[in-house]
Structure 1
Amino acid sequence: MTDLAAIRRICPPPSTGQTTPIDWNAVETELGMNLPEDYKQLADIYGPGEYCDYINIYHPHAATPWVNLTGPMPARIRGQLQHDSDQGTHPVPYPPQHLFAIGVTSNGEYLFWITDPQQTPDNWRIAVNEARGPLWYTYDGTLTEFLTAVMTGQTTVPQFPRDLLDPPISFKPSTAPPTDYPQNPPRPAVDTETIREWARANGYAVPPHGRIPLDIKDAWEQANRP
């Protein structure tokens, strides 16, 4: 069984016809680099959305620029990593120019391709940083291999919550329709500590660490819509 087939078995994708075709030539031209084939197949099948109510893989058709593969976040995050490396704020285990952000978790960890060597994207490995700390985790395999290993419990990422695999394991498609990159993008993602503070002030029981329950995130979004 291939890794993509394993992901589809563990975490069923949306029904056929619910995803929008992707012009990969245009995406790769805009990024100035070729992309791993396993990622392109995953994005074609699943579309934009969230795995296990926690892992959001960047997608060319994401509803907001903050989780869009061709949006501002990969370059912005790389710039922050370069600043951290230059200032010694947090150790960065790889040259920042070889790290391309490919996803984000509900807790604020980022997933990266280690794009070295850049000419062989199908061999790129995966790195995960700590949301508010120095810890890094490296997975010696592709994105789909990483997701398979995580969702089957074969790999435990120290930064991820212990209840990540509580059933059901599912994929939640983005509810907003794909849009072009807006001239005035919506406000960026809010730090999870802000949501925790709001939840406590409004009588919700929220864990101090790890995944914020989906009903609390939904309530916060409803209460803080512009």
Structure 2
Amino acid sequence: MDFDQITTLIAPPIDPIETSGSSWTEIEREIGAFLPADYKKFVSTYGTGSIGDFLWVFNPFSKNKNLNLNSFRYLQSSYQNLKADFPELYDRPPFPLHDSFFTWAQTDNGDSLIWIIKSEPPETWQVGIHSADQAEEELTSLTFTGFMVRLLEKQLASRILPKQFLQAGKNFLPSA
């Protein structure tokens, strides 16, 4: 699938918010991992905001601590705390180890979209969905672009994401 399918399905804002700040190189150095090029293109094209006023794609350049790297750090820390208390439910290794996860979006319900970290290039990482308590995980065979296209075309099935969101028309709402 091609990134242009995303921009055809959901119009980018004319004046996106917070599309730059630090460089992607600095962000990736701080994270400790490279990020998929199509995700970086999405952030550079759309900036900070939500899809359908429900799904918030994290933007490392955002000043909003709920949408930038602070959210990623918080969710990683929460997962590790839960793993310490309930290792049978939380079996992913700590980021950035192989088979760990990186959270790149969150819903208003607290469900998260993640990538499963592999040794392959980040453009091949599969997207997963974590429930709000991170105990339930759904894995897809889709990359970022594939997932976004399926979501926007209303062709995505999920036990975790609400059906009314999956079946609704979507737009991008810029918001800082």
User: TM class, shorter-chain normalised?
Assistant: 0.7 to 0.9
Contact 2:19 2:43 in 1 (8 A): no
- The equivalent residue for 1:155 is 156
Alignment of 1:14-29 (within 5 A): 14-15=13-14, 17-22=15-20, 23-29=23-29
Residues 1:21 and 1:59: Cα distance change in structure 2 (over 3 Å): closer
Contact 2:19 2:44 in 1 (8 A): yes
CA displacement 1:200-226 (0-9 Å, x = unmatched): xxxxxxxxxxxxxxxxxxxxxxxxxxx
| Pick aligned residue for 2:72 from 64, 71, 74 | 74
Contact 1:19 1:45 in 2 (8 A): no
- The equivalent residue for 1:44 is 44
How far did residue 153 of structure 1 move? 2.1
Structure 1 segments (4+ residues) deviating >4 Å: none
How far did residue 141 of structure 1 move? 2.0
- The equivalent residue for 1:9 is 8
| Pick aligned residue for 2:113 from 98, 101, 111 | 111
Question: What is the alpha-carbon distance in structure 1 between the residues aligned to residue 5 and residue 90 of structure 2?
Answer: 32
Structure 1's unaligned 5+ residue stretches are 177-226
SS in structure 2 of the partner of residue 67 of structure 1? coil
* Two-structure CA RMSD over aligned residues (Å): 2.1
Contact 2:131 2:160 in 1 (8 A): yes
Larger radius of gyration: 1
Question: What is the alpha-carbon distance in structure 2 between the residues aligned to residue 29 and residue 83 of structure 1?
Answer: 24
SS in structure 2 of the partner of residue 43 of structure 1? helix
**Is 1:139 aligned to residue 137 of structure 2?**
no
Residues 1:20 and 1:83: Cα distance change in structure 2 (over 3 Å): closer
Alignment of 1:49-60 (within 5 A): 49-60=49-60
- Structure 1 vs Structure 2: percent identity of aligned residues? 24
Residues 1:5 and 1:86: Cα distance change in structure 2 (over 3 Å): same
- TM-score under structure 1 length normalisation: 0.67
Greater RCO (CA < 8 Å, at least 6 residues apart): 2
CA displacement 1:67-124 (0-9 Å, x = unmatched): 10xx32222212221222232277235324311111110111111111122x621111
Question: What is the alpha-carbon distance in structure 2 between the residues aligned to residue 129 and residue 94 of structure 1?
Answer: 12
Structure 2's unaligned 5+ residue stretches are none
Residues 1:53 and 1:89: Cα distance change in structure 2 (over 3 Å): farther
Question: What is the alpha-carbon distance in structure 2 between the residues aligned to residue 42 and residue 73 of structure 1?
Answer: 18
Give, as a single letter, the amino acid of the residue that structure 2 aligns with 1:125: Q
SS in structure 1 of the partner of residue 157 of structure 2? coil
- The equivalent residue for 1:100 is 102
CA displacement 1:153-179 (0-9 Å, x = unmatched): 222122112211323x100111x3xxx
Question: What is the alpha-carbon distance in structure 2 between the residues aligned to residue 172 and residue 96 of structure 1?
Answer: 33
SS in structure 1 of the partner of residue 109 of structure 2? coil
Question: What is the alpha-carbon distance in structure 2 between the residues aligned to residue 166 and residue 18 of structure 1?
Answer: 23
